[in-house]
Structure formats: structure tokens, C-alpha cells
Structure 1
Amino acid sequence: MGNSTVGEERPVEKEVPAINDPESNHDSSAVGKPWMYKPIKVGPLTLPWFASPETQLVLVSFVCFLCPGMFNAVSGLGGGGQLDPTVVSRANTALYSTFAVVGFFAGSISNRIGLRLTLSIGGFGYFLYVASLLAYNHGKNSGFVIFAGALLGVCAGMLWCAQGAVMMSYPRENEKGRFISIFWVIFNLGGVIGSLVPLGQNLHSDSGGVNDGTYIAFMILMVVGFIFAWGLSDSKYIMRKDGSRVIVMKNPTWKSEFKGLFDTLVSDYYIVLLFPMFLASNWFYAYHFDSVNGAYFNVRTRSLNGLLYWLMQMVGAFVFGLTLDMKFFSRPMRAKINFALLFALTLGIWGGGYAFQKRYTRAQTDANQVKMDWTSKGYVGPMFLYMFYGFYDAVFQTCAYWFMGSLTNNGRKLANFAGFYKGIQSAGAAGMWAMDSVHTPFMTEFASCWGLLLGALLIASPVVFFKIKDHVDIEDDLKFSDETTQDVMGAIPMERQTSESKEKQTTVA
């Protein structure tokens, strides 16, 4: 009797989680509205439901596309598009100084107030910063630019923490490279499209500054990004294809989150070996944007270089997103392979950068002896170098995020990791922008970049080689959470629950 029925019944798995299942024991307050879990139909296509990791990742990616993506396009012009880059270097020093402080604690703030509010607050600062550059074009109010930079640091610390938490904690273990890659491609598409704006408006100009229309266009796009941020769902409502949920705190308090920050540093003490890598990850931006692109090229060529720089970021993220998720190697082996590739790129690309930097000095650029146009003889070599600088940036940061994401699946802990990453990264950027603002020799800046990158990789190697496992046990991830295994694994699809229940009843009979 039982055998015949069991043979006929087979679980049917659909990628739609059960909602308000009366037999489910998971926390009912963590279930969103039914519409959040209905697949989205667009013509013949069926897209993931709203509260899925994929949809949320794309939403966060477009917020970053429109806010920091446009900011990157402005920064890539060198000196924020200003004739005198000194005030922008000072604003960036203020930006990354506040970013460093807020970013380090942003994980605790994000866990307490939620990712949607964190992301929304973060988007506002980018608009105000570009507005300050527009105002500076007319009133030369350097104080407003520096204030806007400092406020942007606070906002950016919030935004990037929320972004990092979504990108690293929402996907399943075998999807993390792909998620990081998708984010980085969409985000850097912002830099590509953003670079088209000044390129089009300054196509026939060889002057040094950027016109008002360029800044206004960026401001409009950033407002749209700020609005998009309000569409993000709370982490507690997210359900993956297999019905599992993100590990978060059910009832976070300020005390529990700042205690969690300390607990993370104690339980995952080896994360400090990644801190030099975090420090190095944005250290080279001032050198790339001001000391190479801003110093060596005129405005329309800077715009073209910026376009190519961000385009190659998309290529780098795509390529390494594939290598990081290669299915025919174990995760520890993938970590080692990608680390070796990253180290080789550090030697090769920056070795070429050393040969290029010997061509010119800061004194020559200050005297306007060096302003190359894309029609100038010998432009192709520097162009390719700048493109590979962009490729390298994406590879370095994609690997850094993947290394962090491979250490845990706990959303609360990964929010803290993201905060550490962005806080320390910003401290490094602040130091480099401060060096640039006091007119440090270009070769000194270059040496600091290359030396720090190589040193950081060597220090991080024990974590990469010995701490990344093929799988992180859920019991380990739940140690510093008030959720249970049932909370995060109990929301399996309704169809699967029903068939499994029938199978058990038939077997008993």
C-alpha cells in the first residue's frame, strides 16, 4: 500500500516561496505582502519576485549606478572638472575622513535602522556634492565644497554599507561571484554613461574646466537614484529560490548592534589581515584621477579616458565574476587561483604604470607643459594603460568582496564586514587625497600605490589560503544572531512542503 504511493509522489520544486503557511514555524513578522513573492511577468519573460535577492541586487545596483556612479564620472574628470583641483582635493580629504569614521560603524547603524533607510540617506549626499561644484563655478565658495564633501562622506558610508550587505549576504554560496559581478557591471555602467555627458558637452573644447550643463545633468540623474533607494525591501522579507532567508537580527537594538560589532572583531579576528587590502582598495583613486588623467590630458580626452576606464571596470568585474564561481574547482582552490591572478596583474599593470610615470613630473603639469589630446602622437599607449587601471580596480575590489563573502553568510556580520571595508578604504583614500592636495611628487604617489597593493596582498594571503572553506555551516553563522535554523531554512516552497507531507503520511500508513 505504502510503496506504490511513495513511488508515484515526487516533490515538485518551484522557485516561489510559501507565504503565510500555517504549518510553518518561522517568524511570521518576517513575511512580507503576498505581491512581494509573485514572479514578475514582462511579456514572454518571467523575472524573479520583488523580494528576491536578484531583484533587490539590481535595485541597489541602479541606485549606485545613479549616485556614486555619476560621482565617479565627475571624479574621473580630474579635480571634479575644475581648473584648480586643489579645492576638490581638500573636499575629498574631508569626504574620505568622515567616510572612514562613519563607514566603520555603518554596519551597526544599518542593522539597526534597516537597509532601505540606510541606502536612502546615503543617496542624498551625492546630489549635494555636485551642487556644490556647480556653485563653485560661479561663487568660488570653497567652504561649501569642503562641507559638501564632508557630508557626502557620512552619506556614502551609509550607502556603501547597505550595498555591501545586499551583495554579499543575499546570494547563496555558489552565486556570490556572480552577484558581485552583476553589481559591479551595472554600477560602473553609471561611470560609462556619466562619462558620455561631459564627453558630449566638451567634445569640441580643449579647455580645462567643465560647463554648468554637465553638473546639472549629473544632479538630475542623482535625484532619480535617491528616489529609487526608497524601493528597497527590508532584509527580513527576502527569500531565495530555495525558500531560505537572510540571517539577520529579529529585534536589533543600538546596544546589540554595537556589541555585535565587537563580537565580530573577536570571533573573526583574522579579518584584520584583510585591513591593509581594504586600505589599498581606493588609495590609488587620487593618483588615477588627478595625477594621471587630470594632469596629463585635456578635458575632452579626460572624458574619453573616463569612459574607457569605467567600461574596463565592467569587463574586469564580468571576467572575475566568472572565475570566482567556477564550478569545476572547490571554493578554496578558486580563492587561491584568483589571488594568484590578482597578484600577477598587480605586478604587470603597475609595472607598466612605472614606465609611464617616468615620462612627466608635477612641475611640468603645473606649468601646462603636458596636456595630451586624443589626436596627439603617442596617445594610444597611455590610453591603454588607463583602461587597464580601471580593469585592475574592478578586479581588486571584486576579489576583496568575494574573499569577505566567503567567510560567512550571516547578513549581520557581513554588514559589519562591509562597514570595515568601506571605513578603512576611505581612510586610505583620505590619506592619498591629502597627499595630492599638498602637491606630493607624482612618482612618490605612484610608489605608495604600488607598494601598498603588493604589501596588502601578502598580508591577506593567510586568510585567502587557510580560512576560506568550501561551505560555511549554518550553526556557525547563527552564533551571533537571535534567529534559529528554522527561521532561515524553514520557509521552503509550499509545493515541496505539501508533497513531502503527503509522502510522510503515506510512508507511515
Structure 2
Amino acid sequence: MAEEKSDLYLAHDSSSSGIAVVDEDAIALARGGNWFSRTYSKPISQVALIGLVCFLCPGMFNALSGIGGGGQVDADASNNSSVALYSTFAAVSFFAGTIHNRLGSKLTLGIGALGYCLYIGSFLSYNMNQNKGFVIAAGAILGVCASLLWTAQGALMLAYPTEGQKGTFISVFWIIFNLGAVLGSAIEFGLTYNSTNNTVGNGVYIGFIVLTGLGAVCSCLLKDPAKMIRDDGTRIVVPQQSTWKKEFIGMYRLLLNDPWVIMLFPMFLASNWFYTWQFNDFNSPLFTLRTRSLNSMLYWLSQMVGSFAIGQVLDSKRMSRRSRAWIGWSVTFVLTWCIWGGSYHKQLDYTREQAAAGEIVRIDFKDSKDYVGLCFLYIFSGMMDAIWQNVAYWLMGACSNDLSKLAILAGLYKSLQSAGAAGAFAMDRDKLPFMTNLAVAWGLCAAGLLFAVPVLLLRVTEHTEPEQEVTAPGRELEVKAASEEPVAVLNTKS
């Protein structure tokens, strides 16, 4: 005779005779008493809110960067600021996981959001007084803030979903985040449509300052991660306050006990390197200002499409997790080589010297014969970027479900990514040939994908066991305690 029982357990059953099924009504009740509270407390809702913060802050930053030179006809101030930005970004991000675990996710995200308003304000100042020093200083400050924001974002985005939802959660975030850049670029396109200048006006910068300020406010609306319940009934394990020493030991132990993640570092390094060539060496010298704005909008819009598509593949229920990893890698590999091959073909037609001498006739989107092919090349470049970032995040998520470990991984990811971006902007600042910038970016992308192969072969498994979550001393006890803590009602049938 079948025996039914209801009790408080995690979303698994340790007995050999029963199959546990999560009671969704019980989880909904645990999340809140009314419809709004239950919806607000869902992991996907919180990831969408994080996406909104990034929609308003990094999204506006990307819209400004995407037209090349921060909207200035001379990219020198922007390049120097970007070198400062990504240098501090790389340095702070290396330790940002430990900072996150000390301060908590909500505070880390909020502090990080504040720097974007200052950065865009520096370009408004530059339009008025040509104060290059302020632009560079604002870039350095933003690097510190951005490292905190992106570490908190990455940790929460990968910790909130179940193992079968990570691709979807990443794509939902990426779509909302890039919608900010699409909106920002659309604003630029509208305000510059009838402009004969090649410099963004004050109105664009003022609008972006207001939007980034709203983004910082939105970070205050996040729910405490310790009160979050996943869709399978499990709680988020939030690291308890510990000493800086323990957190640094945790980073060391992660790299020592999970060395395969080091093989992802070249992929991390390459993940922002190609922006410099795409924005400053392709979009900026070849097109009119309004066309650059249109290109930027299409670039970020294509990221939304690419993210959605690869998210569906990475969460497919018809394949094993390892198979999904290989398909994601293969799609990235093929698209990378096709895009860089097409970019190389175009790069043969012009040089930096020609751009500096004003010998390149800028293309307008109304010149359909010259524009259409280059437009599609830029669209697929945006799609490649989204797929690259989604696969990289998904691989990190395949290595851990623990918030503290994911914070360290996200910090290392942003550190190496930013070091690469700083190197790329430094090359552009030093006026290296466009072809050299392209060749280095292409080579790093190829190397990054090849170095990731051992991770797919030897590290990606069908399920991440709690004992693999090895970070700061004492964290094992937190994970064990959380696994034994009652969360949601399960209906268990023998």
C-alpha cells in the first residue's frame, strides 16, 4: 500500500524507497503571502532586477562605447580613460570575490552602480572644457566600481537558478542588460540623425547621467539573498561574515582544489579584447555619426538574439550537460572564425594612417550598396560576443552552485577580462596598425577556445556535488548546515 507523508525537507530524498516531489504551492507560500511578494521573490524576478540595474548602468556605458571614442571624434581621451578603467577593473576584480563575501551581494552591487554616473558626467565635462584628466580619473574610479558590480551580478546570476536553469537565467539577464544599450543607442541615433558633427552633444550625456543614476537606486530594491529559495526548494547558501585572511585563503584553495578552472583564463582574457577593434577600429573610422549610432543599436540588439538562442541550447532537456557544453563551444568556435575571417577581409581595404589623414570616405546607412554587408558583419559580431559571454558564464556555473565560490570565479573572470580590455585599448592608444589589433584579438579568441577544451573533457559533470564547493575555511560547514535545513514541503511517495 502506498503511504503518503508530508514533511519539511530539501528538494531531494535520501531514502531508498521514496521519490521526492517539490510542492510548488509550499515554495510559493514560503516566498510570501501575496501575489506580488511571491513574484518578487522568485529567482528569475531577482535576476531580472539585476538585469535592470545593468540595463541602466553598464547598458548606457556600452551604448556610449559602441559608437567609438565615447562619442568623441578624437578617441584619445576615451582610450586613455579606458586603459585606466580596465587597469583598475582588472586589479580590483582579482580580489572582488573576497570583497563581495565580506560586504554582501546587495551592498557590493549598489556601490558598484554608482561609478557609471560619474564616468558619463566626465564626458559631458569634456565637451565643455576639454578636461582630459577628469575623464581619465573617472575611468579609474569606474574600474573599481564596475569590478564590484559585475562580481555581485555574476555570483547572483549563477547562484539563483537550479542546474537546469542556468542557461536561461544567463540569457534573461543578458537580454535585459543589452536592452539598455539598445535603448541608449536608439536615443543617440534619434538625437544625431540630422547632425553633421561627429561628436555626441550634451543632451545625450545628460540623458545618460539621469538613467545611470536611476540604476544605482534600483540596486536598493534587491531581496536579501539569504531569504531566496530556488525553484527546486533549496536555499541560497550565503557566506557568513569572515575575516579577510579566510577569504584570501578561500581564493587560494579554490585554485588549488579546482585547477581546471585555470584553463578558462585565456577565454576570460579574450572576452572583451575584441571590443576595441570593433568599436574604435571598425565602427568609428568607417561610418558617419548617425550610422555609428545605428550600428551600435543593431550590435546590442543582436546580442539579445544570440543570448536567447544559446540559452535555449545550454538548458536543453534533451541532452546531457556535457553534450550541451560541447554544442555551446562548437557554436562559439564556428561563429568566431567566420566573423574574424570577414573582418580580416574588410580590414585589407583601409589603414589607421588613412583614417588619421581623413582619406576614408565615411559610409552612411543610406548608402545601401556599401553599407549592408558591413552592417551584417557588425550584427554577427555582436551575436558572437553574446554567445561567447554566455558560454563562459555557463561554464563557470557548471563548476559551482555556491554563492561564495561563484563570487570568486566571477571576480577572476572580470579581472582577466578587464586586463585584456586594458591591453587592447593600450594598443589602440599607441596607434598600432588596425590589422595588428585585429590579429591579436583573433589569435586570443582562438587560443581561449582551445584552452577551454580540457574543462569540457575533464571538469564538466552532470551534477555539482556539495563537497566540490571548497572555498574559505569553515565554508564546508555552512554548505552542510544549509543542506540539512528545512526549506519546502515535499510530497514523498513510496
- The TM-score, its normalising length taken from structure 2, stands at 0.92
Unaligned regions of 5+ residues in structure 1, if any? 20-33, 42-46
1:356 match: secondary structure: helix
- 1:469 deviation in Å? 0.2
Give the counterpart of 2:163 among 169, 173, 177: 173
1:14 aligns with 2:6: no
Is the Cα–Cα contact under 8 Å of residues 22 and 488 in structure 2 kept in the other structure? no
Is the Cα–Cα contact under 8 Å of residues 282 and 426 in structure 1 kept in the other structure? yes
Partners of 1:12 and 1:251 lie apart in 2 by 31
Give the counterpart of 2:414 among 410, 422, 427: 422
Equivalent position of 1:374 in the other structure: 365
Name the aligned partner's letter for residue 490 of structure 1. E
Give matches, 1:340-419, under 5 Å.
Answer: 340-370=330-360, 371-376=362-367, 377-419=369-411
Partners of 1:39 and 1:320 lie apart in 2 by 34
Name the aligned partner's letter for residue 70 of structure 1. M
Is the Cα–Cα contact under 8 Å of residues 335 and 465 in structure 1 kept in the other structure? no
1:374 match: secondary structure: coil
1:139 aligns with 2:129: yes
1:487 aligns with 2:478: no
- 1:149 deviation in Å? 0.2
1:378 match: secondary structure: helix
Partners of 1:217 and 1:479 lie apart in 2 by 43
Partners of 1:407 and 1:431 lie apart in 2 by 28
Name the aligned partner's letter for residue 492 of structure 1. V
Is the Cα–Cα contact under 8 Å of residues 39 and 50 in structure 1 kept in the other structure? no
Is the Cα–Cα contact under 8 Å of residues 265 and 271 in structure 1 kept in the other structure? yes
Give the counterpart of 2:440 among 424, 434, 448: 448
Give matches, 1:212-291, under 5 Å.
Answer: 212-291=202-281
Q: Deviations over 1:161-187 (max 9, x none)?
A: 000001111110000000011011100
Partners of 1:7 and 1:363 lie apart in 2 by 77
- 1:277 deviation in Å? 0.5
1:233 match: secondary structure: coil
1:297 aligns with 2:287: yes
Task: Report sequence identity in percent.
Answer: 46
Is the Cα–Cα contact under 8 Å of residues 404 and 471 in structure 2 kept in the other structure? no
Distance of aligned partners of 1:489 and 1:297 in 2 relative to their CA distance in 1, 3 Å threshold: farther
Partners of 1:171 and 1:386 lie apart in 2 by 32
Partners of 2:178 and 2:230 lie apart in 1 by 26
Is the Cα–Cα contact under 8 Å of residues 291 and 364 in structure 2 kept in the other structure? yes
Is the Cα–Cα contact under 8 Å of residues 237 and 479 in structure 2 kept in the other structure? no
Is the Cα–Cα contact under 8 Å of residues 98 and 247 in structure 2 kept in the other structure? yes
Is the Cα–Cα contact under 8 Å of residues 65 and 191 in structure 1 kept in the other structure? yes
- 1:275 deviation in Å? 0.6
Is the Cα–Cα contact under 8 Å of residues 17 and 491 in structure 1 kept in the other structure? no
Q: What is the count of residue pairs matched by the alignment?
A: 477
1:417 match: secondary structure: helix
- 1:18 deviation in Å? 8.5
Q: Deviations over 1:364-418 (max 9, x none)?
A: 1112222111122311011110111100000000000001110111111110000
- 1:254 deviation in Å? 2.0
Give the counterpart of 1:431 among 423, 432, 437: 423
Name the aligned partner's letter for residue 467 of structure 1. R
Partners of 2:174 and 2:377 lie apart in 1 by 21
Is the Cα–Cα contact under 8 Å of residues 235 and 482 in structure 2 kept in the other structure? yes
1:462 aligns with 2:472: no
- 1:473 deviation in Å? 1.4
- 1:39 deviation in Å? 5.3
Structure with higher Rg: it is 1
Partners of 1:408 and 1:445 lie apart in 2 by 35
Equivalent position of 2:12 in the other structure: none
Equivalent position of 2:315 in the other structure: 325
Distance of aligned partners of 1:191 and 1:437 in 2 relative to their CA distance in 1, 3 Å threshold: same
Equivalent position of 1:44 in the other structure: none
- 1:249 deviation in Å? 1.9
Is the Cα–Cα contact under 8 Å of residues 81 and 137 in structure 2 kept in the other structure? yes
Q: Report the more deviating stretch, 453-462 or 126-135.
A: 453-462
Is the Cα–Cα contact under 8 Å of residues 97 and 426 in structure 1 kept in the other structure? yes
Is the Cα–Cα contact under 8 Å of residues 299 and 378 in structure 2 kept in the other structure? yes
Distance of aligned partners of 1:434 and 1:263 in 2 relative to their CA distance in 1, 3 Å threshold: same
- 1:459 deviation in Å? 1.1
Is the Cα–Cα contact under 8 Å of residues 115 and 232 in structure 1 kept in the other structure? no
* RMSD, matched Cα: 2.1
Partners of 1:422 and 1:226 lie apart in 2 by 20
Is the Cα–Cα contact under 8 Å of residues 16 and 241 in structure 1 kept in the other structure? no
Equivalent position of 2:13 in the other structure: none
- 1:231 deviation in Å? 1.3
Partners of 1:401 and 1:39 lie apart in 2 by 33
1:173 match: secondary structure: coil
Partners of 1:8 and 1:352 lie apart in 2 by 60
1:74 aligns with 2:78: no
Unaligned regions of 5+ residues in structure 2, if any? 8-19
- The TM-score, its normalising length taken from structure 1, stands at 0.90
- 1:486 deviation in Å? 4.4
- 1:37 deviation in Å? 3.0
Give the counterpart of 1:193 among 179, 183, 187: 183
Partners of 1:479 and 1:151 lie apart in 2 by 29
2:295 match: secondary structure: helix
1:240 match: secondary structure: coil
